[in-house]
Structures are given as C-alpha cells and as structure tokens.
Amino acid sequence: MAKDAGNIIADSGFAPFFKVSNADAVGISAPVDRKGEALRTWVRSLSGFQKEALVRSARTGLTWRLVSDEGAYLNGFDAAPCPLAFLSTGMVASYMNEILALARMQGVELSKLRLIQDNFYTMKGSMAKRTMIGGAEPVQLQVEVDCDLDDGALNTLLMNAVHASPLNGLMRGRMESLFKLAKSGTELPTARVAELDAPLFADPRDRFSMARPEAEDLILMQPVGRTPKKDVALGTAAAASSLAQEQDRRLNIGAIATLRADGVKDIQQMTYSPHGTSFRFLSEEAPVNGGQGRAPDANTYISAGIAFCFMTQFGRLVSMQNLDMPSYRIVQDTHFSLGGASGGTGMAGTADPVETHVYLDTTESDEVAQEMLDISEQTCFLHAFCRTDLKTRLKLVRL
C-alpha cells in the first residue's frame, strides 16, 4: 500500500475524470496497433489504496485521466470507484455498443433498452501461506428491451452482439498475462509469472502530475450513495474484510446501463459485495467510432479496470505482510480487435495477452520484489478474468 498521505483525490483540485489536453507533453504514447485498437495505461499509487491512471488510445488519439479508490472493506477513503467498477462499466458499455450497432445493421428497432449486468469474483486461501488466489465467474447480463422480433431472433441478435464485443477476446480461452519487473530502478527477471519478451519501458515516475484537463461540461463520474443491499453467497460487508489473512469470499459488482437522449451512456455501478458506495459513470465512443468522445469509451474503462485491480493487489500484499513499498507504478498495454458489429468486422471480438511493466520502489530483497509480482498476479481478479474461460449468461426481459 502506498504511504498514507491523506485523501489526495478529494484534495487535488482536479475533477476525478478528465480528458487530457497535453498528452504529448506528458510523454504517454499509444502502443503500435496490432488488431484494431491498442491502449497504453499508466497507473501510479497515490495514498493508501488511491490510484491515478492515464489511458491513451492508438485508434482514437484520446487520453483520459481516471482515479480509483477503495471503501471501508480495505480501509480506503471511498473517494472514487473501486477497480472492479471500471471493468464492469467498460464491459456493459461495450455490450451496448455492439447491441445497438448490430440492431442498426439488421434494421431492427430497439426501444427502452436497459442492460443490467452482474460480475462475480472469488478470493480464497491464506496470504501467510501464499495460497490466496483470485478467481472470476461467469457474467450475468439481463437485457430489458421493447422490440418486434420474436424471442428466438432477438436472443440470437443479443448473443451475437455479446460475442462481437472486443472484451470477448479476454474472456474466451485461457490467456496468461505477460510482465516486466523493475525494483528501485533496476530491472529484474520475473520468477513465476510469464516474462514479456521485450525491453522494459521507461518508468513514468512523476510525469502524471503534468497532465492538464480539457474544458468539460459533463460530470463524468460521481457518487450516487450506498449500494442497495443484496444477499450474495459468501459476500462480505465488514470493514477491512478484504485484508483478512484467511479468505473465502465472493464479490459481486453490478452495472446498470441506459442510453441518454444525447447519445451518452449512463452507467450506475453497484458494489454489492463487498458492500460499498455506488458511482455513476458516463461513457461515449470517440468520433472515429461513431460518437463524440465526450466521455471515456468502453475500452478505456476496461483497460483502466485491469490495471487498477492489479495495483490494488500490491497494496493488499504490502499492507497484510507489513512490507516496505512507499510507491509503485505500472505501464500496461492492451490490444483488442474492433467490435464485430460496431467495427464492421462481422467476427467475434479478439484480444492479445495483457502486457504489464511493473516498477516497485522498495528496500526489500530482489526475491521479495519478485514474489510481490507473483502474488499480486495470483490474487488479481482481473488477471484471473483473463486466464479463465468465461461466458456471459443472457436473460431477456420484454418491456
């Protein structure tokens, strides 16, 4: 966990989310595009479990600044959404993109469309014994809609849209992530996790603070209040429950998405287990993808979510094992195909393994630094999401 320097997110003077006006001056570049879309995500620790990300897209040319925090379950400040909220938000936004695009292609009129999504994760084992491991379970998606298609035809359209999402590439099959590691400025080989066969990127260090916002009329993210309570098997609500040395718990993050009259997606994220605050996100695709780029797009939220979740696991390990690591950063590259419907490929979405460069500032030994990386990957819900063959279970509700 980063040194507790207070509630930096609340005290920074910046909006939590903003479009970066000077990405080139900051020095964040996008990866070379391999599949249709490539994103580079920088993340640094701020204070406690607070984190800041900059995400730049090769396809859109846009760079977004986002922040994440944790609630009472991790003794956080609760000043911003938890990491898993970003993945859920990006996923439901991506599904809505593909449903709407496929319906337009087929001349199908959809009205009153609302998506209700539930993501489930597990954490089991002992941190002291190094047996703790994160897991991911199938996604549940309820589509509420008014449409003239019969049930069979509508279900086919919806399932084809789900498969068309670029995120499908990280869900189907078992994809092992790739890593590079540096400790206090010195590159180290990885131990157990797979090592990326590429040079270590330069550490961004304090370049995050150079980012400046473009003028923005929309409030891109805001708290809604406590998430309504819901019974979740093995769910938790107690303060600091996520820091227990022995765990067997199940997490449930929800997202409810609707389309506003101005074309922006309104997404309310729900923290059912561990029980916490609900936040509202706005999402819109960039002009190259048919939108106006007034809010972060689906792939930006997905990429930030994976990176934020991985960073949290370093913080949990350091806090639970009383290790020295006052600050840490990552640079993560994600590569996605275009959407099968929204990008006109007509194919299921694909992705490459997530590639992450890790920079740890620590006085611990090289072996401990390597173990930090191994355990953080092992306990990361969203790296588990990538290495687990997952399906989205669809439920149709007529309005």
pLDDT given for residue 236 in this prediction: 81
265-273: strand order across its sheet = 221-226, 277-283, 265-273, 246-259, 111-126, 133-146, 392-398
pLDDT given for residue 195 in this prediction: 98
Domain hosting residue 86, numbered range = 8-398
> Would strands 178-183 and 186-188 be described as parallel, antiparallel, or unpaired?
antiparallel
Whether the Cβ atoms of residue 160 and residue 102 lie closer than 8 Å to each other: yes
Count, residues in the chain: 399
2 lies in a domain?
no
64 lies in a domain?
yes
pLDDT given for residue 240 in this prediction: 67
pLDDT given for residue 208 in this prediction: 97
34 lies in a domain?
yes
Whether the Cβ atoms of residue 299 and residue 36 lie closer than 8 Å to each other: no
Residue with tokens 């687990």: 388
- Provide the CA 26 distance to its chain's centre, in angstroms: 22
pTM score, two decimals?
0.97
* CATH code of residue 243: 3.30.300.20
The tens place of each residue's pLDDT in the chain, 399 residues long, gives: 566 778 999 998 889 999 999 999 999 999 999 999 999 999 999 999 999 999 999 999 999 999 999 999 999 999 999 999 999 999 999 999 999 999 999 999 999 999 999 999 999 999 989 999 999 999 999 999 999 999 999 999 999 999 999 999 999 889 999 999 999 999 999 999 999 999 999 999 999 999 999 988 899 999 999 999 999 988 886 766 788 889 999 999 999 999 999 999 999 999 999 999 999 999 999 999 999 999 999 999 999 999 999 999 999 999 899 999 999 999 999 999 999 999 999 999 999 999 999 999 999 999 999 999 999 999 999 999 999 999 999 999 999
3 lies in a domain?
no
**Domain count within the chain:** 1
pLDDT given for residue 244 in this prediction: 86
50 lies in a domain?
yes
Residue with tokens 């820091």: 243
Contacts of 250 (CB under 8 A, 6+ apart): 120, 121, 122, 232, 233, 234, 235, 273
255 lies in a domain?
yes
200 lies in a domain?
yes
1 lies in a domain?
no
d(CA 340, CA 253): 26
pLDDT given for residue 173 in this prediction: 86
Q: How many CA atoms lie within 13 A of 221 on its CB side?
A: 25
User: Which residue, among 52, 22, 24, 57, has the nearest Cα to 40 in the 3D structure?
Assistant: 57
